[in-house]
Amino acid sequence: MAISPSFSIDELQKQFETASYDTILKWVAAEYGSAFSLACSFGAEDVVLLDALLKIDPNARVFVLDTGRLHQETYEVMERFRGRYGVAFEVYSPDTVSLQNLLRAKGPSSFYESIDNRKECCGIRKVEPLKRALAGQKAWITGLRREQAVTRLALPKAEIDLSHGGILKLNPLADWTEARVWQYIRTNDVPYNALHDKGFPSIGCVPCTRAVLPGEDLRAGRWWWEAPEHKECGLHTKRK
Ligand code: SF4
């Protein structure tokens, strides 16, 4: 499934670079109807997008990758959204057989032993479920921002996602600062993950996330035993 031939990705990138987040969200809702999704991990950026998107389209499809190792605080913010917004999240879990085979062969904490092992775990718990979540979709929305990591410095607001069949991937908050994210959350009284108040700027799985110290990099608490250039789980790795 590919991007609509009615516009080019170069044009979109140019237009969206100066477009507001809600202009981009309104555009994707009008262009793709029910064939687009928001990927939500309940990080600060994702709750901004959830609030903004549900105000535009209360029936928008939102999916969650439940790795089986998420923090209780993450499930709690999910519940708050279900209660306040009535959103029916589509939850994707890892393939049972793949997970059983991994646990049998390498145990529950193999991700600490090597980058390959860590990517194998992320592959089973995140990357494969994402492929299922995006099957049949024409576009997806993420909360990625440029200042989050060295791997995201050149992030465009619109790109073709060759890892998922050439569908459109939109990053409406690409140029937002962390301060702007929190300004939106406070101004709109959006539910957020309680771990953010305990020193976690970026939240993933329990064994692979820790709080950061004042002045540390935003992603310093994710896979802290790895070098910064390796810190991607595979959800946003580009296929050339
Ligand atoms: S973040 Fe850690 S526990 Fe979660 S899927 Fe990746 S390696 Fe596995």
Q: How far is the CA of 102 from the centre of ligand 1 (A)?
A: 12
Does residue 122 line the site of ligand 1, with CB under 6 A? yes
39 alpha-carbon distance from chain centroid: 5
Catalytic residues: 233
Task: Find out whether the beta carbon of 74 lies less than 6 Å from any atom of ligand 1.
Answer: no
119, with CB counted inside 10 A (0-12, 13-18, 19+), is middle
- Six token digits for residue 51: 């609030």
Number of structural domains (the chain) is: 1
Range of the domain at 136: 9-199
The mean per-residue pLDDT over the stretch 105-109 comes to 97
Is residue 96 domain-resident?
Answer: yes
The answer to whether residue 150 is domain-embedded is yes
| For range 210-237, the mean pLDDT | 73
- pLDDT > 90? residue 228: no
Question: Cα of 10 to ligand 1 centre, how many Å?
Answer: 34
**218 within a domain of the structure (yes/no):** no
Q: How high does pLDDT run on average in the chain? A: 91
The pTM is what? Answer: 0.91
pLDDT at 226: 73
Directed axis angle between helix 96-106 and helix 115-122, to 10°?
160
Interval 88-102: pLDDT, tens: 999 999 999 999 999
- Nearest atom in ligand 1 to 126's CA: 5
- Evaluate if residue 238 carries a pLDDT over 70: no
Are 214 and 76 within 8 A, CB to CB? no
Indicate if the pLDDT at residue 2 is higher than 50. Answer: no
CATH of residue 63's domain is 3.40.50.620
What is the rounded average pLDDT of the residues 108-125?
A: 95
| Ligand 1 in reach of 69 Cβ (< 6 A) | yes
Q: What is the predicted pLDDT for the residue at 148?
A: 83
| Cα(65) to centroid(ligand 1), Å | 12
207 belongs to a structural domain: no
Residue nearest to atom 5 of ligand 1 (CA): 122
* In-domain check, residue 29: yes
User: Is 65 a pocket residue for ligand 1 (Cβ < 6 Å)?
Assistant: no
User: Average of pLDDT values for 42-68?
Assistant: 97
